[in-house]
């Protein structure tokens, strides 16, 4: 059907039917002679490339081809002259405004009533959306690959550090299982957002929910969207703090209380001030003093101390202090805001709420 574009007329009715089909197509349908001069141009070509039919017809098809791809036209015309149908292929073309568009092209010879090749028809389909989806998938896969490797490194570190501090195989298994599940909870939050980050409030909630006693936990601070690296490292810290608290601290009795507050210092203002501002987080825990020293064992010698004093703060480019006294534990983290939140993510009014609300 396309072959009659530029060929002899086969009757007014057939021509009208063909013209209607070509004109209503969602794909750009163009015909050109063997000198690469455009002979016909449908409405889809106008929408795709920005040129009207009046502007395009009579011009060289090269006006659509970026400079570095002009050799494609020479190869196409050579195949057309020999009567070969050019297999569909993906390439790039240039619009009237100079922007580039990804297209899938199919090129076929046009013959006249005597069977002589007098030109070529070209069908161009816009595949920009498909290409963008492919790009996003590749980007996401690279991010996932990076994160999985990072998770493996963290798990190996967990195994190594936990094994140093546990002589009971059952205790070792339970601790490793709990820590891997904590990593999984952070991972789930990132997957839901397609690795775009996670709310600090949601992160705390997700890691402290397994320990219960939500009414004894108070959260206060601006709404922040954390970068994936901050989600992982702060998630590990909250798990270790929550585990210690459920065994030896505020969450081990009804009389305990945990206050988690975070702030952003005033610092400089303006679009370039993000890197100069600092994020401050305080975990402040009070509980009835215990008669023995078991309460301090995990935070003094365990992997939790390594996470709280070294792994989390160093991974975020900041510093942390861990203080203990009978009936009290506090962990204070300071880090550059730029290493905590998603770039250009804003903050909202302060939350001051019980954990369960």
Ordered by start, the domain boundaries in the chain are 2-126, 135-354
| 63-84 residue pLDDT tens | 999 999 999 999 889 888 888 7
Average pLDDT value over all residues in the chain: 81
In this structure, whether the domain defined by 135-354 belongs to CATH 3.30.565.10 is answered with yes
pLDDT at 1: 39
Q: What are phi and psi of 336, to 5 degrees?
A: -60, 135
| 237-255 residue pLDDT tens | 999 999 888 888 888 888 8
C-beta of residue 41 within 8 angstroms of C-beta of residue 53: yes
pLDDT at 275: 53
| 190-199 residue pLDDT tens | 878 777 788 8
Interval 212-234 mean pLDDT: 89
pLDDT at 342: 85
pLDDT at 132: 87
Question: Looking at the domain that runs over 2-126, which CATH code has it been given?
Answer: 3.30.450.20
- What is the C-alpha to C-alpha distance for residues 6 and 15, in angstroms, rounded to an integer? 11
Q: List the single range of 64-68, 112-116, 292-296 with lowest mean pLDDT.
A: 292-296
pLDDT at 349: 43
Say which residues have a Cβ less than 8 Å from residue 266's Cβ, sequence separation at least 6. Answer: none
3-state helix, strand, coil in the chain (%, to 5): 50, 25, 25
Interval 190-216 mean pLDDT: 85
Give me the helices (H) in the chain, please: 12-24, 43-49, 53-56, 71-81, 128-164, 169-192, 200-208, 228-248, 294-301, 303-306, 312-315
* Residue, of 3 and 21, whose pLDDT is higher: 21
Q: What are phi and psi of 85, to 5 degrees?
A: -85, 130
C-beta of residue 128 within 8 angstroms of C-beta of residue 90: no
What single DSSP character describes residue 117? E
Cα 196 to Cα 1, 140, 157, 314, distances in angstroms = 49, 10, 26, 22
pLDDT at 293: 46
pLDDT at 298: 42
Q: Is the pTM of this model over 0.75?
A: no
């Amino acid at each position: 059907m396309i072959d009659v574009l530029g060929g002899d007329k086969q009757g007014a009715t057939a021509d009208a039917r063909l013209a209607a089909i070509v004109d209503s197509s969602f794909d750009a349908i163009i015909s050109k002679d063997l000198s690469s001069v455009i002979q016909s141009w449908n409405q889809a070509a106008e929408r795709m490339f920005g040129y009207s039919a009046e502007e395009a017809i009579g011009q060289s098809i090269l006006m659509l081809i970026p400079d570095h791809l002009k050799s494609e036209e020479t190869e196409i015309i050579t195949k057309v002259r020999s009567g070969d149908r050019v297999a569909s292929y993906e390439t790039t073309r240039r619009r009237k405004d100079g922007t580039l568009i990804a297209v899938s092209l199919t090129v076929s010879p046009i013959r006249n009533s005597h069977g002589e090749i007098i030109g070529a028809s070209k069908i161009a389909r816009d595949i920009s959306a498909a290409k963008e989806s492919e790009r996003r998938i590749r980007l996401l896969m690279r991010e996932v690959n990076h994160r999985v490797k990072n998770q493996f490194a963290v798990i190996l570190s967990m195994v190594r550090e936990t094994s140093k501090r546990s002589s009971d195989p059952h205790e070792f298994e339970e601790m490793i299982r709990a820590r891997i599940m904590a990593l999984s909870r952070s991972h789930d939050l990132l997957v839901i957002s397609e690795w775009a980050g996670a709310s600090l409030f949601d992160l705390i909630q997700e890691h402290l929910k397994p320990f219960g006693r939500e009414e004894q936990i108070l959260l206060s601070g601006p709404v922040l969207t954390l970068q994936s690296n901050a989600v992982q490292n702060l998630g590990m810290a909250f798990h270790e703090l929550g585990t210690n608290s459920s065994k030896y601290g505020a969450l081990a009795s009804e009389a305990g209380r945990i206050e988690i507050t975070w702030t952003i210092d005033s610092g400089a203002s303006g679009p370039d001030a993000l890197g100069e501002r600092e994020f401050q987080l305080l975990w402040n825990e009070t509980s009835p003093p215990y008669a023995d020293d078991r309460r301090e064992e995990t935070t003094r010698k365990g992997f939790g101390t390594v996470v709280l004093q070294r792994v989390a703060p160093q991974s975020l480019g900041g510093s942390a202090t861990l203080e203990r006294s009978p009936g009290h534990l506090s962990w204070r983290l300071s880090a550059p805001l730029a290493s905590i939140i998603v770039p250009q993510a804003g903050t909202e009014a302060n939350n001051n709420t019980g954990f369960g609300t």
